[in-house]
Amino acid sequence: MPTPEPGSFRARLLAREPLVGTFVKTTSHQTIEILGGAALDFIVLDAEHAPFSRDALDIALLAARAASLPALVRVPAANGEHIGNALDLGATGVIGPHVRDGGDASALAGACRFRGGTRGFSTSPRAGRYGLSSMTAMIDAGDAQSVSVAMIEDEAALGCIDEIAASEVDALFIGRADLALSCGMTTLDEPLLARHVEAICHAAMRAHKPVAMFVGSEREVAHHAELGVTAFVVGSDQSLLRGAALGMHAAAMAAAGHVSRSKEPA
């Protein structure tokens, strides 16, 4: 596994520092710039479930770079085309969905690496500074900084979790919703799902790999941190906007009602 650059997002992830980010589901570069001023450790651009075309992803990653905000991309599929595209556009790394066994994990890690991997090479995109980077410089930087994260969200992956964790991927990401669905569950509060989450965390610990996961709110962080999760994707730009709007409306209505009552005749 390539040695990360000190202080980089990859170095912090591998050191299992506590990291907090959020999903970005809207293709608004202004939103990303705003999040860049919110002290987040990273964002995840959801190119699997949100309408990120290549052009939209390009602009989003430009905004992230301008805001000095590490940006992972959850690619639509864990294949070389999607992974190479995201990294060429300047993504900090990728989250590969539906990694079901060690072979899938190795292919994901390989697609993120030049040396010993399968990542296609060109200095012409943003990652190569539009031709200014030398071949050696781009290879060194890409291999040291690009993050590969395997998403564990299928029942089949549970039986292969140790071989996935032992692969060259940098981290595991627990996708509870898809994992629950794959196991025939329709809620996230099933005790069996909780045991699956614990098993994934234990496998990652045995392999000395960090674990990331999505949580709906900050209230879920403490419990999963005790299990060994260190990188949390909390909500999304959509949920943050909705929550702030609902809170604003409730507070404003309460204030308006208080003023109205104070003006009522005695």
Q: Is 148 left (phi over 0), alpha (psi -120 to 50) or beta?
A: beta
Task: Tell me which residue of 49, 23, 56, 157 sits closest to 103, measured CA to CA.
Answer: 157
Q: Given this model, what pLDDT does residue 257 score?
A: 84
For the entire predicted model, the pTM comes to 0.94
Contact 61, 38 (CB under 8 A): no
Q: Given this model, what pLDDT does residue 259 score?
A: 66
Q: How confident is the model at residue 37 (pLDDT cuts 50, 70, 90)?
A: very high
3 state SS of 98? coil
Write b or e for each residue in 72-86: b if 16 or more Cβ atoms lie within 10 A of its Cβ, otherwise e.
bbbbeebebebbbbb
The architecture that CATH gives domain 9-236 is: Alpha-Beta Barrel (3.20)
260 pLDDT above the threshold of 70? no
pLDDT digit string (tens) for 225-248?
Answer: 999 999 999 999 999 999 999 999
Burial class (CB in 10 A: 0-12, 13-18, 19+), 207: middle
**Pairing of β 147-152 and β 171-174:** parallel
| Residue-averaged pLDDT of the chain | 96
How far apart are alpha carbons 151 and 161 in whole angstroms?
11
Angle between helix axes 54-66 and 29-36 (nearest 10 degrees) is 20
Tokens of 119: 């990542």
3 state SS of 115? coil
Write b or e for each residue in 195-206: b if 16 or more Cβ atoms lie within 10 A of its Cβ, otherwise e.
ebbeebbbbbee
Average pLDDT over residues 151-173: 98
How far apart are alpha carbons 262 and 161 in whole angstroms?
63
- DSSP 8-state symbol, 5: P
Domain ranges of the chain: 9-236
Task: Tell me which residue of 181, 176, 179, 174 sits closest to 231, measured CA to CA.
Answer: 174
pLDDT digit string (tens) for 93-130?
Answer: 999 999 999 999 999 999 999 999 999 999 999 999 99
